[in-house]
Amino acid sequence: MLIDLTGRTAFVSGSTQGIGRVIAARLAAAGADTTINGRDAERVEAVVAELRAELPPGTRLDGVAADVSTPAGADVVVDRLPSVDILVNNLGIFAPRPVLEVDDDTWQRFWDVNVMSAIRLTRHYLPGMRDRGWGRALFMASDSALVIPEEMAHYGVTKTALLGVSRGFAKAMAGTGVTVNAVIAGPTHTEGVEDFVRALVGDELPWDRAQAEFMKRHRPGSLIQRLIEPDEIAAMVVYLSSDHASATTGGALRVDGGYVDYIVP
């Protein structure tokens, strides 16, 4: 399937590392004028330079440094990019903590970063997409939205919220040519997840064994029995960003390795 996003503009929040970085790279490789985002200006500039070196000459990439978990940070992005065609709400944080030990400040921080950042950006960009008759808004959710993890209930709850938020925005865009979807990503091999795995299974084991032990103990329902690679998540995002996915909206699309034991979604 040939996906050509030439002429489209894309913004990916929280995209200086992990899944977001790969999504931004794949959107740019498909032809979209893509802007990556992170809080640190030097890091953003470095990643833009790295991606330009990795991707074919002429690939259009830019960056904007802003903390979009805050209203002020979202305003910085909006000032730089008044409109986009493809919005990927990727920014998110996670950390294990027993639910009885999660204090109010932690709950609020996870809500601001994982949920409100996406709401603010989507609320701004959807009207322009609607007026132009084309647009894609995507929310990066998680298997934890459906199977709340014992060690990260505060994280899972924010991802559950994104499923509802995505569906609500999709209904607001009915009949406009704009699609809104959530992507349910399963346990994915990123820098942060490596640290997470080590925190749960220890530092003694070689990585391959540590990963296998993590899946066995904490994600035994995975049908692929391994961590997902970021490219596998990005492939779904690029497809949903294309014209090929014009009839897919209001959905929660799973790239979870079969971990969630439901037939639907």
pTM of the model: 0.95
pLDDT of 39 higher than 80 = yes
Among 54-68, 90-104, 205-219, 228-242, the least confident range: 205-219
Range of the domain at 220: 189-227
Q: 80 with 157, same domain? A: yes
Chain mean position to CA 259: 18
* The pLDDT of residue 211: 92
168-192 burial string, b = 16+ CB within 10 Å, else e? ebbeebeebebbbbbbbbbbbbbee
CATH number at residue 32: 3.40.50.720
Q: 35 with 141, same domain? A: yes
Q: 96 with 196, same domain? A: no
The catalytic site residues sit at 155
- Specify the number of domains making up the chain: 2
- Residue 178 bridge partners (DSSP): 135
pLDDT of 265 higher than 70 = no
